[in-house]
Amino acid sequence: MTRASGLAFCVIFAATTLAFAQSGQSNQTPTPTSPVTEISADRGSCKVDFKVTNFLGKPVYNAKIHTELRWGFLNGHRLDLDAGTNADGRARFINMPNAVKSPVVFHIRNGSDEALITWDPGTNCEAEYTVPVLRKSQQTNQAPPTKE
């Protein structure tokens, strides 16, 4: 074998090996996801998952979700829980109470946009909510239709 044909053989072998290695790989590239923000209340076994989106259905990064839990004699114990959504618009509240005296209200905010979610663990212990963030002005300034 001459030097030129040996070099050509090596190039062809390397190209064939590379082609087979690439054909064995999946055509779908995995999309990296950031870990879901988890906040634990340490009060039970329920959980509440949120996915916060904008009006176009795209995830909202770092939307703030706040709730307050109260329990005990005259609701003397209080726990404030706050979470921010990840890049996929997700946040999770875990170890939430299994029973409450009144439903738990979650306040979701992103800048001047906000939404409220009311959750009752007695009816849905493992809840999932997709929340389109609403404008505060749209929630509070809706006038009833007038009759003419």
Per-residue pLDDT of the chain (148 residues; tens, 9 = 90+): 565 555 555 455 555 544 444 444 444 444 567 899 999 999 999 999 999 998 888 999 999 999 999 998 988 899 999 999 999 999 999 999 999 999 999 999 998 999 999 999 999 999 999 999 765 544 433 344 444 4
Q: In DSSP terms, which residues pair with 131 in a beta bridge?
A: 52
* Cβ-contact 66, 26 below 8 angstroms: no
* Residue 61: closest CA among 135, 133, 141: 133
DSSP alpha helices (H): ranges in the chain?
A: 3-23, 136-140
d(CA 115, CA 137): 11
Question: pTM for the whole thing?
Answer: 0.69
At 38, give phi and psi (nearest 5°): -120, 130
Supply the pLDDT for residue 133.
77
Q: Which residue ranges form the domains of the chain, and what is each CATH number?
A: 37-134 (2.60.40.1120)
Supply the pLDDT for residue 2.
60
Supply the pLDDT for residue 142.
39
Amino acid at position 4, single letter: A
